[in-house]
């Protein structure tokens, strides 16, 4: 790339951009010098600007609320959504089925019709009940 500034063949839009760049540098330099010389005025102007911006933001939020307010969803741990409630209901139904089957096995034991497979089934049902109860 050639440096157009050295050759002097600047196009009109490039001349404009170069002038704007120099103008912004000079303005920023003057502004910083003024802020260093007048710290109290700079602080006052800054606070006025921030206060007006804050009040303007409040007015905008109150009188012209945005259409998409707070679409952030909280984590499922802290909210009782329909799916969470449905999962809890399903767990309760499963636990109820396990309790009913255990009652049937207890009646079988009382009638002295108990077998080795039944004790294995009781152990399995107990473990499954514990998992459902503790949410693992």
pTM of the complete model:
0.39
Distance, in Å, from the CA atom of 95 to the CA atom of 126, rounded to the nearest integer, reads: 10
Distance, in Å, from the CA atom of 10 to the CA atom of 17, rounded to the nearest integer, reads: 10
Give me 45's structure tokens.
Answer: 């102007």
pLDDT digits (tens, 9 = 90+) for 30-77: 999 999 999 999 999 999 999 999 999 999 988 887 766 566 666 666
Residues 6+ apart with CB under 8 A from 76: 83, 84
pLDDT at 113 over 90: no
Establish how many alpha carbons lie within 13 A of residue 37's alpha carbon, considering only the half-sphere containing its beta carbon: 6
Residues 6+ apart with CB under 8 A from 118: 105, 108, 109
């Amino acid at each position: 790339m050639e440096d157009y500034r050295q050759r002097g063949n600047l196009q009109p839009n490039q001349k404009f951009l170069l002038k704007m760049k120099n103008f912004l540098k000079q303005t920023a330099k003057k502004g910083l010098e003024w802020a260093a010389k007048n710290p109290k005025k700079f602080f006052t102007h800054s606070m006025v600007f921030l206060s007006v911006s804050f009040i303007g933001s409040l007015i905008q939020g109150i009188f012209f609320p945005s259409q998409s307010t707070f679409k952030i969803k909280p984590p499922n741990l802290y909210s009782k959504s329909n799916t969470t409630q449905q999962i809890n209901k399903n767990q309760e139904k499963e636990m109820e089925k396990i309790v009913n089957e255990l009652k049937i096995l207890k009646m079988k034991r009382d009638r002295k019709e108990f077998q080795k497979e039944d004790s294995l089934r009781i152990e399995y049902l107990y473990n499954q009940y514990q998992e459902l109860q503790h949410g693992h």
